Amino acid sequence: MTPVTRVAAIDCGTNSIRLLVADVEGGTLTDVDRRMEVVRLGQGVDRTGRLAPEALARTLDATRRYADRCVELGVEPGAAAVRFVATSATRDAENRDEFVAGVRDAIGVEPEVVAGHEEAALSFRGAVGGLAAHPGPYVVVDLGGGSTELVVGTGTPDAAWSMDVGCVRLTERHLRSDPPAADEVAAARADVAAALDEAAGHVDWSRARTLVGLAGTVTTVTAHALGLPAYQPERIDGSALAVDAVLAACDDLLRRDRASRAALPFMHPGRVDVIGAGALVWHDVVARVDADVRAAGGALSAVVTSEHDILDGIALSVVDRAARA
């Protein structure tokens, strides 16, 4: 019988910090606990190049709560069964050593500030496990607060690229009005277009048959497209939408003001002020991939949303490390 291993994975991004405690058996994950807090670690990083003291404090408070939860569920902080991965905001910060020391004190493991290509590979691994019903190759897009990762492959990644565009970064850089003004939207779109042009030189998504979106912006857009009465992960995970439905939902979220977004029943309070920029990025990525696939003589089968992402990839990587040790 294959042994069951209980692991804890923590993904600390620009906007949120998330915990997954899972049992792993034969390469299959079974969730024990999955939770998320919006801490906005990347507050101001695009402008200052540093993690703000209040953002760092929020993040370390959440990390301590996650450490307590790990103990409750039988995963000891500091053990080899815990992996803490930090991404875009921490990569960009001059004072990331303060963050590293704070996390080490809070949970007893060294946080790994991973490069964009490793972030992309972990996201791809976490996402593709449940895609058997959809044809490959896949283009997997992990849309975060500070960066957006694109990965193309079928069973394993063939190519990956990390773009420095995300919902927090573009909100702080451009979308200051409520709702965003036309010139602000145009400036944000120019950043996304330039990033996609660069990415296209590294990742050929024109062969893709299924586009897969990950993370909070994408799941929120999907909830909007489905007209959900609340955030329902069981309805969102694995949902397959037509390109036009995704683009329409993105456009609607971008046009709304803050109060209108906040009133949506599925909207997390910590995402209200950045979902417009996130929707803009997702709209332009979907439209660009769809256009390039069509230009190459193909067609996307669907735009699929997955609740399984880098967090799942991190959890699986913990078991890989133990096997190599």
Given a contact cutoff of 8 angstroms between Cβ atoms, the answer to whether 10 and 87 are in contact is no
Neighbours of 299 (CB within 10 A): 10
For the chain, how many helices (H) and strands (E)?
A: 13, 11
Average pLDDT over residues 163-172: 92
Q: What is the DSSP string of 7-23?
A: EEEEEE-SSEEEEEEEE
Query: What sign for the dihedral angle of Cα 271, 239, 21, 88?
Result: negative
Residue with tokens 């949902």: 239
Closest CA to 261 of 279, 235, 236: 279
Looking at mean pLDDT, say which of 31-40, 49-58, 155-164, 182-191 comes out highest: 182-191
Task: Inform me whether the pLDDT recorded for 300 exceeds 80.
Answer: yes
Given a contact cutoff of 8 angstroms between Cβ atoms, the answer to whether 243 and 210 are in contact is no
User: Distances from the Cα of 265 to the Cαs of 224, 249, 272, in angstroms?
Assistant: 9, 15, 12
| Banded model confidence at residue 3, pLDDT cuts 50, 70, 90 | low
Token readout for 150 is: 């694109």
What the chain holds in terms of domains, given with CATH numbers, is: 4-116 (3.30.420.40), 130-306 (3.30.420.150)
Output DSSP code: residue 81: T
Helix (H, G, I), strand (E, B) or coil at 259: helix
For all residues of the chain together, what is the average pLDDT?
Answer: 90
**Of the candidate ranges 146-150, 154-158, 258-262, the one whose mean pLDDT is the lowest:** 154-158
Average pLDDT over residues 160-176: 93
Question: pTM for the whole thing?
Answer: 0.84
H helices of 23-151, where?
45-48, 53-72, 88-92, 96-107, 116-128
**Euclidean distance between CA atoms 324 and 204, whole angstroms:** 32
**Of the candidate ranges 73-77, 245-249, 284-288, the one whose mean pLDDT is the lowest:** 73-77
In the chain, the percentage of residues whose pLDDT exceeds 70 is: 96
Task: Inform me whether the pLDDT recorded for 183 exceeds 80.
Answer: yes
Task: Inform me whether the pLDDT recorded for 196 exceeds 80.
Answer: yes
Average pLDDT over residues 227-247: 95
